[in-house]
Copies of this chain bind each other. A is one copy, B any other.
Amino acid sequence: MNITSKQIAELCGVTRGTVDRALNNRPGIHPETREKILRVAEELGYRPHFLAQSLVKGHTKTLGIVLFDIHNRIFSQLFHAFEAEARKRGYIVYLVLSHRDKELELEYINNLLDRRVDGIALLPANFNKKFESLLLRSRTPIVTFGNRLNGPFPYIWIDDKQAIQDSVSFLIQQGYRRLIYISPPLMRKGKENIHVPEQRYNGFIEACEATPDMRFDIIAQKNYLAELETLMDTTDSSSAILCSSDVYALEVLKWLNDRKIKVPEQIGLMGFDNIDVLKYINPAITTVDYNVNEIGTRLADLLINKINNQDIPSETLIAHHVVEGQSATAMR
């Protein structure tokens, strides 16, 4: 169906070796022969068979990236940057969505490995030894992000623990003395890789315990609004709700709005991630910002460098900072 180098060889009355020399302009071929072959190839719209090339060259110029989903804006932005950098460096990417499902992730990883991707950017849901040894045995370059593994896999993200501590500091400074921390992923502890939620959780606990007179609660379940409800009568204007992600903060704000509870007048609210839809929300939600585009770009950069056998740092942490909105400003 498609024109092959063999056919060109026949048409030009030469052998495939010569055609190859012309096509990949390698030395050792008469200029005229080259001209002719190139012309014929051009006319016939010859395009090399990428798979066949990959098979012999041993690389596919393909990257795989596994994400939980792209509903969370943070991940769709990350993908954008990743894809752009990959393209600039000559790679095309498989995007697969694990939905935090360990089985599915495993299935996908195996599939990507079978397809001989040159490297994988991985947001891991699995976390056990068996999984890691599969990755290691594959000898495929891998860079993790947004969740850490135990083995020697390079990692890029932010300093989550510090970021939450900064958030708590900010809230304390605003005069808040009673905090409710909402982080549903914590409920999957032991069942799933929740490295980042745990880092944030640890940061929260430490920061709170280091503060005299601080009261705090943790909500770690899927149905977090129901639990929040039971806590509401213990709150006042010196209370604030800190969410481990903007997506929860948005839900909480909506829930509070529906109940005519005013933010920040009656209770403070703070998110995390600074996803871009926040700009449309009233009141502006105080949150933690970090350059996710940079993460995406660096992620691709690191992975490709690793593919090229360059040394890359085992950990790359991107800067973060609290962005003050109007949702966590206690009446002092």
How far apart are the CA atoms of A54 and B97 in the complex, in Å? Answer: 23
Do A95 and B116 touch (CB < 8 A)? no
| A69 within 8 A of partner (CB) | yes
Encoded as 1 (CB less than 8 Å from any B CB) or 0, chain A from 242 to 267 comes to: 00000000100110010000000000
Q: List 8 extra interface pairs beyond A49-B55, A51-B60, A280-B281, CB under 8 A.
A: A69-B80, A71-B80, A83-B97, A87-B96, A92-B94, A92-B96, A95-B95, A254-B279
Copies of this chain in its oligomeric complex: 2
User: Quick one: which of B96, B110, B250, B277 contacts A47, CB cutoff 8 A?
Assistant: B110
Q: Which residues of B contact A139 (CB under 8 A)?
A: 1
Say yes or no: is A52 at the interface (Cβ < 8 Å to chain B): yes
- Interface flags for A1-24 (1: CB within 8 Å of B; 0: not) read 100000000000000000000000
Judged by DSSP, the binding face of A is helix
Interface of chain A residues 78 through 132 with chain B (CB within 8 A) = 79-80, 83-84, 87, 92-97, 108, 110-116
Interface-centre pick from A80, A87, A95 (highest chain B CB count, 10 A): A95
Question: CB < 8 Å: which of B79, B97, B111 contacts A80?
Answer: B97
Tell me the minimal C-beta distance from A233 to chain B in angstroms. Answer: 25
| Contact call A52/B55, Cβ cutoff below 8 A | yes
Q: Is the CB of A115 within 8 A of B50?
A: yes
Task: Kindly state whether residue A40 has any CB partner on chain B within 8 Å.
Answer: no
Assess the A71–B76 pair: CB atoms within 8 A: yes
Least CB distance from A103 to B in Å reads 12
A83-B97, A96-B92, A277-B280 given; A51·B55 CB < 8 A? yes
The answer to the question of A48 belonging to the interface, with a C-beta cut-off of 8 Å to chain B, is yes
Closest to A84 in B: B97
